[in-house]
Every structure is written in C-alpha cells, then in structure tokens.
C-alpha cells in the first residue's frame, strides 16, 4: 500500500470518528426525549479532530489545520469543564 492510500485512509477514519459524535448525540437525545450532549461526544470530537489534524498537516492545508486546531481547543476545554465539574460533585 502506498503512502497516499494510507493517508487517504487516515482522512476517512478521522471523518468517520468526527461524524460518529453526531450519531452518539442523536441516540442519547432520542432516548432522553431532549437535546443532550454525552461525554462521548467530546471524546469522538477529540479523536476525530486529532486524526483530521494529522491528515491536514500531511496535506499542508493551512485552512484545514487552523480549523482543526481551533476545534480541538474547544473540545478539550469542554471535556476539562465536564471532568472538573464531576470531580467536585463527587467530593460534596
């Protein structure tokens, strides 16, 4: 398998991980009968974002790189806030 095919696979994997977050969110919301963002949404966002960032770096696409870096900062911050909140809820 050549390098281009491998990187194309990385790009599709990243996109699949990134898209999976919406499926997880949709299922969770349907079960709750309201809009819900499960923690898994942020984990899929981070995994998909990192994989897509790697692909964007390989492609040397500055627009794609900037978009993924910005998104990753937001995803990590949201996950941190969730974990921080749970840490203090558990100690009460």
Quick one: which of 25, 33, 42 has its CA closest to 86? Answer: 42
The answer to whether the CB of 84 falls within 8 A of the CB of 42 is no
90 falls in which pLDDT band (50, 70, 90)? low
- The radius of gyration of the chain from alpha carbons, rounded to an integer in Å, stands at 16
Q: pLDDT (tens digit, 9 = 90+) per residue, 11-69?
A: 999 999 989 999 999 999 999 999 999 999 999 999 999 999 999 999 999 999 999 99
Instruction: Say yes or no to pLDDT of 88 above 90.
Output: no
- The H helix count followed by the E strand count for the chain is 3, 0
- Indicate the pTM of the whole model: 0.84
- Name the residue among 71, 67, 65, 64 with its Cα closest to residue 46: 71
The pLDDT tens digits of the residues spanning 74-86 come to: 999 999 999 888 7
């Amino acid at each position: 398998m050549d390098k281009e095919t491998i990187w194309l696979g990385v790009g599709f994997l990243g996109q699949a991980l990134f898209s999976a977050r919406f499926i997880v969110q949709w299922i969770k919301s349907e079960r709750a009968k309201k809009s819900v963002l499960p923690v898994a949404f942020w984990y899929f966002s981070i995994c998909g974002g990192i994989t897509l960032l790697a692909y964007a770096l390989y492609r040397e696409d500055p627009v794609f790189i900037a978009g993924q870096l910005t998104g990753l900062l937001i995803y990590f911050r949201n996950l941190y806030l969730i974990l921080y909140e749970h840490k203090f809820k558990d100690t009460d």
